[in-house]
């Protein structure tokens, strides 16, 4: 099995994702250059965090037009696993692989800190190593993570259990106070209909090792490794 991390100009969590996939999980991992229309035969594509094109227009707006994204879209349509983290999530919504959009944080400021997340769907390929309702601590680092979608889209997401992560307090309750950015229903991560494309604002790669404040992000990568191994 093989993982690929896309590098857009301005990506800055690309090396972090590469490090975790390759050195922590021991996966065969490659970088995928945005100008190349070539996925190098990977089984998992990670769209990393950062500021593609400086986020100068809208986050992810320019990146979606790169040659690699054509390939990623085809790959996703065929059922390939795609994980978008932070800016990667924004690229996924901009490209239409996931619904909705990410607006500026309610307080208009960049926020970098650990938050509590509730795993609301542990039945996905990305979350099988968690339990439903489990509370995990994973950091966020964004200025535009305020998830927005029209009412019917939100309803569809909720009805079909497609909200995978939600901001919550230490007891697992969602509330105004535990919602760092104003996202509708405290949404922190969602999955597509067919369950192979996940976008999330928090950064699991920042807490996937013993030395970090938590190791709670590790299980996303571990879940994926299990699933992909099973496929092959």
Give residues in contact with another protein (CB under 8 A): 9-10, 12-13, 15-16, 19-20, 35, 49-51, 53-58, 61-62, 65, 93-94, 99-101, 103-113, 139, 141, 143, 146, 148-150, 182, 203, 205-206, 209, 211-213
Residues catalogued as catalytic: 86, 203, 205
d(CA 225, CA 227): 6
C-beta of 203 vs 225, nearer to another protein: 203
C-beta of 4 vs 180, nearer to another protein: 180
**Distances from the Cα of 115 to the Cαs of 20, 104, 213, in angstroms?**
20, 18, 12
C-beta of 64 vs 124, nearer to another protein: 64
Question: Smallest distance, Å, CB 17 to another protein?
Answer: 9
What is the edge-to-edge ordering of all strands in the sheet holding 111-119?
28-33, 2-7, 44-47, 81-85, 197-200, 187-191, 163-168, 111-119, 135-142
Question: Smallest distance, Å, CB 112 to another protein?
Answer: 5
C-beta of 13 vs 227, nearer to another protein: 13
Question: Smallest distance, Å, CB 87 to another protein?
Answer: 11
Question: Smallest distance, Å, CB 186 to another protein?
Answer: 15
Nearest C-alpha neighbor of 120 from the set 166, 84, 172? 166
For the chain, give the number of residues.
Answer: 232
């Amino acid at each position: 099995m093989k993982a690929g991390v896309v590098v857009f100009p301005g990506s800055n969590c690309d090396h972090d994702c590469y490090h975790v996939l390759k050195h922590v999980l021991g996966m065969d991992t490659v970088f995928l250059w945005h100008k190349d229309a070539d996925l190098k035969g990977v089984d998992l594509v990670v769209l990393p965090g950062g500021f593609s094109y400086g986020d100068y227009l809208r986050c992810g707006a320019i990146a979606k037009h790169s040659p690699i994204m054509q390939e990623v879209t085809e790959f996703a349509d065929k059922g390939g696993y795609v994980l978008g983290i932070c800016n990667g999530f924004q690229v996924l919504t901009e490209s239409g692989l996931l619904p909705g959009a990410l607006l500026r944080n309610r307080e208009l400021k960049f926020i970098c800190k650990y938050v509590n997340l509730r795993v609301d769907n542990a039945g996905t390929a990305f979350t099988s190593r968690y339990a439903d309702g489990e509370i995990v601590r994973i950091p966020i680092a964004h200025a535009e993570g305020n998830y927005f979608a029209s009412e019917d889209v939100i309803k569809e997401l909720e009805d079909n259990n497609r909200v995978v992560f939600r901001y919550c307090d230490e007891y697992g309750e969602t509330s105004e106070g535990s919602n760092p950015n104003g996202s509708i229903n405290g949404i922190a991560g969602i999955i597509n209909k067919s369950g192979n494309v996940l976008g999330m604002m928090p950064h699991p790669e920042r807490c996937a090792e013993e030395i970090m404040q938590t190791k709670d992000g590790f299980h996303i990568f571990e879940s994926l490794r299990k699933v992909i191994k099973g496929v092959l």
